[in-house]
Amino acid sequence: MTIASSDNTQTSGNSKPGGDKAEATADPLMVDHPRIERAVREILAAVGEDPNREGLLETPARVARMYAEMFSGLHRDPRIHLQKVFTEKYDEVVLIKDITFCSMCEHHLLPFSGRAHVGYLPEGKVVGLSKLARVVEEVARRPQVQERMTEHIAELIEQELGARGVAVVLEASHSCMTIRGIRKPGSLCLTSAMRGVFRDNLSSRAEILGLIVGRNTP
Ligand SMILES: [Zn+2]
């Protein structure tokens, strides 16, 4: 059994992802900054602000850079991180816990953030541990809903590694629930996606969930 707790070393750095599609679309210029800037000025005017007052002058450009960063995953294919696999006879659970992420709720364009726990049962193929964190990072960096994000991560691992089982659990706090609307700070949303034996076999599922909710002993 392998259980790693993520130290969340920055995974969104400048490393250029390989692969044709990613190479062609990873350019941050894919994001139209001037267009975002015009839109932000419009929003400021629409709420009754003066976009030309000193404190707001650079805000549109700042917001454009922020969106380019928050949505950088749109122009990358997370699949590329699962291409370099190692053939191993290891056939026990591999689990990375506490991969922090921050994504953007596509309904309100407000952030939701929390932790991802990603486990799989290899079928002859394992992947570098940090790659799983990279997958989470890139899937998070786009307009999202937590349910789809959870499914997407599980699907990628199942398809690319041919794992016998995949378990993905996400726990996150949604600022669209904590700072507006119903305003329930402290509420957590938990989602899970189980594939293969973790879906079909109750004791395998109970085992992986036990490992995920068990406290860390680093
Ligand atoms: Zn929302």
pLDDT digits 0-9 by tens, 144-169? 999 999 999 999 999 999 999 999 99
- The reported pLDDT for the residue numbered 82 is 95
State the helix-helix crossing angle for 129-140 and 146-161, rounded to 10 degrees: 140
Task: With H, G, I as helix, E, B as strand and everything else as coil, classify residue 62.
Answer: helix
CA of 177 to the centre of ligand 1 (A): 7
174 a catalytic residue: yes
- The reported pLDDT for the residue numbered 182 is 86
User: Angle CA(134)–CA(138)–CA(144) in degrees, nearest 5?
Assistant: 140
75 a catalytic residue: no
- The reported pLDDT for the residue numbered 18 is 41
Listed by start position, the domains of the chain span 2-8+81-213, 32-70
Question: pLDDT by residue for the chain (218 residues), tens digit each?
Answer: 777 776 544 444 444 444 444 444 444 558 999 999 999 999 999 999 999 999 999 999 999 999 999 999 999 999 999 999 999 888 899 999 999 999 999 999 999 999 999 999 999 999 999 999 999 999 999 999 999 999 999 999 999 999 999 999 999 999 999 998 888 888 899 999 999 999 999 999 999 999 998 866 55
CA of 112 to the centre of ligand 1 (A): 8
From 49, 151, 176, 189, active-site residue: 176
**Is 3.40.50.620 the CATH classification of the domain at 2-8+81-213?**
no
Tell me which architecture the domain covering 32-70 has in CATH: Orthogonal Bundle (1.10)
Do 116 and 170 form a contact (C-beta atoms < 8 A)? yes
Q: How many CA atoms lie within 13 A of 44 on its CB side?
A: 18
Distances, alpha carbon 196 to alpha carbons 65, 130, 155, 157, in Å = 40, 23, 11, 11
152 a catalytic residue: no
Do 16 and 25 form a contact (C-beta atoms < 8 A)? no
Which tokens sit at 91?
């056939």
The environment of the single-atom ion ligand 1, i.e. residues with CB closer than 5 A, is 105, 107-108, 176
3-state secondary structure 141-156: CCEECHHHHHHHHHHH
- The reported pLDDT for the residue numbered 3 is 78
- The reported pLDDT for the residue numbered 17 is 42
From 106, 123, 147, 159, active-site residue: 106
- The reported pLDDT for the residue numbered 142 is 97
- The reported pLDDT for the residue numbered 9 is 44
CA of 135 to the centre of ligand 1 (A): 22
105 a catalytic residue: yes
